[in-house]
Structure 1
Amino acid sequence: MSILPTLFVPHGAPTFALAPGPAGQAMSDWAGRIEKPQAVLVVSAHWDTAQPCLGAATQPEIIHDFWGFPDALYELGYPATGAPGVAAEAKRLLDAAGFRAGLDHERGLDHGAWIPMRMMFPAADVPVATLSIQSALGPRHHYLVGQALAPLAAQGVLIVASGNLTHNLSHYRPAASGAGEPPYVGRFQAWIWDRLVARDVDSLLAYRVLAPGAVEAHPRDDHLLPLFVALGAAGPGFTAERVFKGVYENMLAMDSFAFRPS
């Protein structure tokens, strides 16, 4: 098996699961073009722990970790098997790199994990392990986590980092409201893509200082932190592919990127 790319995808608002639109179709199409992975390790912005933790359940149930949405959302399932062996190997790699990683044998799949998995592998025929973020530790920590996990890509494991390129819910407006897109959304999208194409990791790690509209795009950077895991795992010579560019609900940038190691 060849070395797999790493991926950053949006999980959007929970209703994204019911109406994937072009962003979901792009993720599905991309997954259909690559060699089928042996397993997936999903880094979810919706699992936040003090130290890295791996979800190692053998039959992870999905978690409906949201409230007040249409009943149809709570009826969705995703019966994928877990990947406890992948979780154990990821823990080994992280421990070897100096991280104190944990294993959680009960954790299910939150919507940051099961929404993109339903779109990419709808048959639920690829085992899934999960990885938490550490929102207090910032981009560089997550980049180093990704570097430690890089060997997984040569073992048939697809690292899927799930967040959103912009995520300021105070600006959330359903498209039907007629509200315009805040100017920072497009500026932030363009800056991130330019820095990815240039492989300017240093600037990306300092995005909160350097990127236009960074703090508006991410009042808290939890939903961008998975991106840095995907970047670290791809290595410094990565080639960036923009899988999708677009904005949902006027302010959620739904861009997805694939990173191929050199």
Structure 2
Amino acid sequence: MQEHALPTYFLSHGGGPWPFMKTEFGHTYDALEASLRDIPRQLGSTPKAVLVVTAHWETDQFTVSASARPPMIYDYYGFPAHTYEVQYSAPGSPELAARVKTLLDGAGHATALDAERGFDHGTFSALYPVYPQADVPIVQLSLRHGLDPLTHVEAGRALAPLRKEGILIVGSGLSYHNLRAFNAQGAAASHQFDAWLRATMALPPAERTAQLLTWEKAPAARMAHPREEHLLPLMVALGAAEQEAAAMPYHEDAFFGALAVSSFRFGQAEA
């Protein structure tokens, strides 16, 4: 048990296998990559493992990846052939998976283990810049069908003890996720929603949670998130550090030329 509770993160993870497409994307992802590479400095030490709440896995009940050697899941389409051969060989942690299940079960969330689940791009694209040596164990947690915000905040609350056990909790999604308007067409909606999101993060904890639970009332909410699976990982990261201040380690006003996107950290950085 460590004295200092690790912060939690909501990371806007970018699109597809972007870290492995530097030639194709040029400088598009430079700011996001720099923010991810800075996380080890912010933490001050290497966590025992990372628990990733991924936007790319939904199940009837919360489910935890429990493979000791997770395979790869290439859950994207139309990318160059080499991106379907990417390997991110970080180990899993059946022990952490069991601990996560115990915490969630204990809070009334019936939880399953999946010994076959591999790393999806919401996990390996976000974590590769953070730990390029793939030497930190990673466990994934699914979203629960229905995508109820309170259910996911409550799951985060149940997982909060992990922060003092050396486990880094990461929600991996995108603060703007309308793939039909991932260009100038979505600029206004992304900026309106992002401004609301940033303002909400600065509120006192109880008010902040209340606002996020009713996120659909935000300006341009359904334009920014026609379906909210890329926002829900934020709820878990928030719930696990609910009383702590938020910071914004990443923000862009012209992502893909026009979009506003952000990442958030809950809790103090060490460095």
TM-score, normalized by length of structure 2? Answer: 0.89
Over residues 6-58 of structure 1, what are the superposed CA-to-partner deviations in whole Å (9 max), with x where a residue is unaligned? 00001221142234411111111122331210000000000010110000100
**Consecutive unaligned residues in structure 1, runs of 5 or more:** 174-178
Written as runs of structure 1 = structure 2, the 5 A alignment for 1:46-57 is: 46-57=56-67
Question: Which residue of 224, 238, 243 corresponds with 2:249?
Answer: 243
**Consecutive unaligned residues in structure 2, runs of 5 or more:** 23-28
Is the contact between residue 12 and residue 254 of structure 1 (CA under 8 Å) also seen in structure 2?
no
Residues matched between the structures, number? 254
Is the contact between residue 186 and residue 259 of structure 2 (CA under 8 Å) also seen in structure 1?
no
Question: Which residue of 180, 191, 216 corresponds with 1:208?
Answer: 216
- 2:166 partner letter: G
| 1:59 aligned counterpart, secondary structure | coil
Question: Which residue of 68, 72, 75 corresponds with 2:78?
Answer: 68
Q: State the partner residue of 2:190.
A: 185
| 1:43 aligned counterpart, secondary structure | strand
Residue 24 (str. 1) matches residue 26 (str. 2)? no
Question: Which residue of 195, 202, 206 corresponds with 1:197?
Answer: 202
- 2:231 partner letter: L
Structure 1: 4+ residue segments shifted above 4 A? 250-253
- Percent identical across equivalent pairs? 40
- 2:219 partner letter: P
CA RMSD of aligned residues (A): 1.5
| 1:108 aligned counterpart, secondary structure | coil
Question: Which residue of 53, 76, 89 corresponds with 1:79?
Answer: 89
Shift of 1:172: 2.4
Q: State the partner residue of 2:42.
A: 33
- 1:222 partner letter: E
Whole-Å Cα distance in 1 between the matches of residues 82 and 42 of structure 2? 30
Over residues 167-219 of structure 1, what are the superposed CA-to-partner deviations in whole Å (9 max), with x where a residue is unaligned? 0011124xxxxx4652111111111111111131101110102x100010000
Written as runs of structure 1 = structure 2, the 5 A alignment for 1:61-210 is: 61-173=71-183, 179=184, 182-198=187-203, 199=205, 200-209=208-217
Over residues 46-73 of structure 1, what are the superposed CA-to-partner deviations in whole Å (9 max), with x where a residue is unaligned? 0010110000100011211111111232
